[in-house]
């Protein structure tokens, strides 16, 4: 099991992940609506803060290291596949632990993959490197 501060920055659906620096954001939009009345005045209804939206880029890279320097055996491809498995769950909440180790039930709203450097990964395969690709995966989670 992954532990925040030891071998993970966040935990999603029981899998620990590392987050790309400067990409973790939390938004809490207000539930509000504004419209103009027939006399030209503004009607504004505000129900207060809504549910939080967590956004981050997950590092699904080969040869990641834990905080103590030990190599993580999980490949970038395996991290990416675990994210896709969580994303494929429909109409289900999943467990998310933020960097403060606070557990929140979330819906997995968005997933966007980017292969970091396709050319260097082809070269790595030709020289006996890892068969798994490395990814950066942008995810968005909405609080349930």
pTM: 0.84
pLDDT tens-digit readout, 64-73:
899 899 998 8
CA-nearest of 140, 84, 138, 86 to 109 is 140
Q: What percent of the chain has pLDDT over 90?
A: 70
Of 81-95, 98-112, 123-137, least confident by mean pLDDT is 123-137
Checking if the pLDDT of 123 tops 70, the result is no
Domain boundaries, the chain: 10-143
Give the Cβ contact number of residue 135 at 10 Å.
20
Give the Cβ contact number of residue 64 at 10 Å.
19
DSSP state of 40: S
**pLDDT for res 2:** 87
pLDDT tens-digit readout, 75-85:
888 999 999 99
Give how far the C-alpha of residue 9 lies from the chain's centroid of Cα atoms, to the nearest Å: 11
**What mean pLDDT, rounded, does the chain reach?**
90
pLDDT tens-digit readout, 89-104:
998 999 999 999 999 9
Give Cα separations from 7 to 19, 45, 52, 132, 133 (angstroms): 12, 45, 25, 20, 20
Q: Does domain 10-143 have CATH number 2.40.400?
A: no
């Amino acid at each position: 099991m992954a532990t925040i501060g030891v071998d993970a920055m966040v935990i999603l659906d029981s899998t620990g992940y590392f987050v790309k620096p400067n990409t973790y954001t939390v938004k809490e939009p207000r539930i509000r609506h504004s419209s103009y009345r027939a006399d030209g005045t503004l009607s504004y209804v505000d129900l207060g803060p809504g549910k939080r939206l967590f956004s981050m880029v997950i590092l699904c890279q080969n040869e990641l290291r834990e905080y103590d320097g030990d190599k993580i055996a999980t490949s970038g491809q395996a991290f990416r596949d675990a994210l896709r498995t969580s994303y494929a769950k429909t109409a289900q909440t999943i467990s998310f632990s933020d960097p403060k180790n606070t557990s929140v039930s979330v819906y997995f709203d968005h997933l966007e993959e980017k292969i970091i450097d396709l050319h260097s990964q082809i070269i790595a395969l030709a020289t006996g490197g890892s068969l798994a690709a490395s990814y950066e995966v942008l995810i968005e989670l909405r609080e349930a």
